Amino acid sequence: MDGETLQAGIELGSDFDDDFDPLFGVDDPALPGERYLDRELSWLAFNQRVLELAEDPAVPVLERANFLAIFASNLDEFFMVRVAGLKRRILTGLAVPTNVGRAPAEVLSDISQAAHVLQERHARAFQDLVRPALADAGIDIVDWDTLNAEERESLRDYFAKQIFPVLMPLAVDPAHPFPYISGLSLNLAVRVRNSKTGKQEFARLKVPQMLPRVVPVDRSESVESIRFITLEDLIANHLGDLFPGMEILEHHVFRVTRNEDVEIEEDETENLIKALEKELLRRRFGPPIRLEITEDMDDVTLDLLVRELDVTEQEVYRLPSPLDLGGLFDISRIDRPDLHYPKHVPTTAVQLLPPEPNSTPDIFKAISRTDILLHHPYESFTTSVQAFLEQAAADPHVLAIKQTLYRTSGDSPIVEALIDAAESGKQVLALVEIKARFDEQANISWARKLEKAGVHVVYGLVGLKTHCKLALVVRNEKGVLRHYSHIGTGNYNPKTSRIYEDLGLLTADDQVGKDLTRLFNELSGYAIEKKFKRLLVAPLHLRKGLLKRISDEAVNALAGKPAGIRIKVNSMVDETIIDALYRASQAGVPIDIWVRGICSLRPGVPGLSENIRVRSILGRYLEHSRIFSFANDGDQQVFIGSADMMHRNLDRRVEALVRLVAPEHLVEIDTLFDRAMDERTSSWWLDGDGTWTRHSQNDSGQLLDDLQNRLMQQIGTRKRTASRR
C-alpha cells in the first residue's frame, strides 16, 4: 500500500474523535407527520416483488417454481416473527404505536388483509401460471384422479412399503384430547363414521416431514418427462388403510403457523447456551397465529379446528390446494439445465490468480501488495475468503486467527480451518453468535465442536447480537507482526456465498488490523467504548458517524459544494436516519437508495424528498451487500459492512463498516450504483405512497438490462483480460 493511501486511512480517524450533536437526526415538527411507510406492509410489498418474478414468463420455469417456494418460506418467517410479535404485544397490553403512529391492532388488520390477497395470488400463480408451464416442459404435478389403474397400483405398493409404516393417525374423542399441531406441519383433518355404531369421529393425520413432498408417479420416468403427485394427495387416497372399518366422510389438508420468535432475557451470570436451548424447546409450543386450510374444507371440520386452535376469523386462510408451496423447492432442484438460469461459475479475483496455471497463489503476498475488494458470487468465495483462512490455518508463520461467525453451513470448511489452526497450536478466537434467528441450534453445535478442539469460543456482549463479519490473521514476518484482515457484508458461509450478493475487503492495512485487534479484545472482554480509525462500529459510533456524514452533505449542498449520498441496504427503517436523509434532500442533496426489502422512507414527495430515488433489484442472486457513499466535497467516503438501517443494527447489535480507500474501489462502487439506478436497468421503483412499480421493459417492449447478468459478464471479462497479460 502506498504512503498516500495509508495516510488517507489514518486521517479518517479524526472524524470519529469529534463529539457530534446529531442535528439531522432528531424529531422535528417541521417535517410532516405522515412521512414514513409502515414497515410490515413494506415487507409484504417486498415479498410481492418476489412473487412477480415467479409470475414472469421470461424467467426460466424451474426458477419461477423456486421463487414461489421462496415467497412461501419468507411469508412463514414473517408470520412466525413479525405477526407473532404484534399479536403478543397486543395480548399482553404492551403494544405501542408502530413507526407510522398507528395502533398495532390496526396494523395487524391491514397485514391480514394484504396477506390474504397475496396468499391467494401466490396460490393462483402456481395453479394458473407455473403449474401449466411446468407441464409444458415435461414436469407435471398431477392429481390422483387423473391416474390410470396401473399407475395407481404402483403407487399403492410404494405407499404400503415407504409411507404407511411411518404414519400416525390420532383420534379425537373423550379419551383422546385434540392433539398438539406442530408449527408449519401439513396435516389431514379426517372425519369418519363408525360402520357399526354410525357415530361420527374426527382424527388428525400428520404428513411426515422427513419424506419427500412430491412422489414420482412412475419411478422409472426420465427427467425430461416426469410426473409427480403430492405426498398428501397420495396419503389422502389411502385413508381406508389407516381407518379400517370406518367410512371416510371428509378429509382436508390444513397447516398451522405458530409464534416461533425466540426471546432471551440475559444477565451477567446466565449460561446463555442453556437458556437458549430451553427457549428453543418453548418455541415449538408457541400459540397459533395462522391457520391455512384448503378451499374445499367443510364447515364442521373448520369449526372444530378454529375452536381447538383458538384462532380468529382473520387468521384463517382458505386457499386452493396444495398448501405449503415451499414444497416446490424439491421441484426446483430437478436437473434440467434448460429450465434454470444459465450456470455461472464464480471467477477468482484477478489479484488472487495464481502466477502459473495449477499453482497455488500466496494470498498473504497478494493482500500485502494492495487492498482487494471482493464481489461475491461473481467472484469466488472459495478461492478468496475460504482460501485466506485455510492458508492461515496451515501457515507456520501465522500466530493467531480471530473471527466472528453469525451463520455458517453445516459442513463449514471455515469452522474446520479454525479447528485445524487450534490443533496446530495457533491462538484461535471464534465469536459465535448463537442467537442468529433459526440457526441457533446449529450454532450451538458448532460452538461446542470448536471448544473441544481448543478454540477460544465467546458469545459476544450481554444484550447485543454480534452481527459484524470480521476475520483477523496475525502473522510473524521476519520478527515483525503483520495484520491481515477481512471485513465483509455477508456471512462466512460457503453455500450462501453462491447465491447471496456480497462485498468483502481483504487488506493488510496496519490501521485496520489495529482496529480489529481492539474490537476483538472488547468483544471477548468488555463493552465497546474505544474509537476506531478506519471503522464505524455499532452500537456506540455507527449511528453518530452516519448522521454526521449525512449532515455534512446537507451543509455542502447549501454552500454550493459537491454533495451526494448513495446507500445500498437490505432494509431502510430507522426513523432518525430517514429524517436526516429528508433534511439532506431538502438542502438539495441528490440521494440514491438501493434497497432489497423494507423501505419506510417515502421518496419523491414535494418539499420533503423530491431529491431521493429508491430502487429495488431482485433476481437470481439475493442482493445482500451494504454500501454507504458520501460525495464529501470531492473527497469521496465509501463504507461497506454488515449494518442495515434498522434500530436493531444501529442500537442492539455489534456491526462494523470499513472505509474503502483505494481509488479503483471507489470507481467500482460508483459504477455499480450508476448501473443500478439507470433507467435502462430492470428494477422496481418506489413512489411516495408506498407503491413499487416494476420497470422490466422499455416503451418498445424490449427487456431492460439485467444488472446481475451484466456483472457476471463484466467480471468474467476482467479475469479473461488479466489471464492474457
* Total residue length of the chain: 725
Q: Which of 251, 252, 467, 624 is catalytic?
A: 467
**Inter-CA distances, 682 with 58, 632, 674, Å:** 13, 29, 13
Distance CA 462, CA 454 (A): 23
Nearest CA to 45 out of 103, 123, 106, 121 is that of 121
Task: Give CA 162 to chain center in angstroms.
Answer: 35
Using DSSP, state whether 247 is helix, strand or coil: strand
Q: Which DSSP helix (H) or strand (E) runs through 674? A: helix 663-677
Distance CA 158, CA 155 (A): 5
Contact assessment for residue 457 and residue 432, using Cβ atoms and an 8 Å cutoff: yes
Q: Identify whether 116 is a catalytic site residue.
A: no
Cβ neighbourhood burial of 722 (10 Å; 0-12, 13-18, 19+): middle
Could you tell me the three cell numbers for 5?
Answer: 493511501
Q: Each residue of 401-416: b (16+ CB within 10 Å) or e?
A: bbbbbbbbbeebbbbe
Contact assessment for residue 537 and residue 656, using Cβ atoms and an 8 Å cutoff: yes
Contact assessment for residue 204 and residue 181, using Cβ atoms and an 8 Å cutoff: yes
Question: CA-based angle 538:539:541, to the nearest 5?
Answer: 65
**Inter-CA distances, 286 with 273, 317, 467, Å:** 20, 19, 26
Using DSSP, state whether 344 is helix, strand or coil: coil
- Identify whether 29 is preceded by a cis peptide bond (ω within 30 of 0): no
Q: Using H for helix, E for strand and C for coil, what is the string for 534-572? A: CEEEECCCHHHHHHHHHHHHHHHHHCCCCCCEEEEECCE
Distance CA 639, CA 656 (A): 10
Using DSSP, state whether 28 is helix, strand or coil: coil
Catalogue the active-site residues. 467
